[in-house]
Amino acid sequence: MAASPLCPPARAPWTAFFLFAPERWPVAPAGDPRTSADLSRLEARWREAIEERLRACLALAEAGVTIEDPFTTYLGPEVRVGAGTVLRPNTTLSGRTVIGRDCLIGPNAVVVDSTIGDGCQVVASVVEESVLEEGVQVGPFAHLRQGAHLGPGVRVGNYAEVKASRLGRNTQVNHFSYVGDAEVGEGVNIGAGTVTCNFDGREKHRTVIEDGAFIGSGTMLVAPVRIGRGAATGAGSVVTRDVPPGVVVVGVPARPLEGGGARDESGREQLG
Active site residues: 175
- H or E element in which residue 174 lies: strand 172-175
Phi, psi (deg, nearest 5) at residue 62: -65, -25
Q: Rounded to whole angstroms, what are the CA distances from 36 to 21, 143, 162, 207?
A: 17, 43, 49, 60
* Burial letters 115-143, b for 16+ CB under 10 A, else e: bbbbbbbbbbbbbbbbbbbbbbbbbeebb
Tell me the torsion sign for CA atoms 12, 14, 17, 20: negative
CB 190 within 8 A of CB 172: yes
Neighbours of 100 (CB within 10 A): 20
Q: Which long-range contacts (CB under 8 A, 24 or more apart) does 141-149 make?
A: 144/114
The dihedral over CA atoms of 105, 111, 115, 119, expressed in degrees to the nearest 10, equals -10
Residue type at 106?
G
User: What is the distance between the alpha carbons of residues 61 and 148, in angstroms, rounded to a whole number?
Assistant: 29
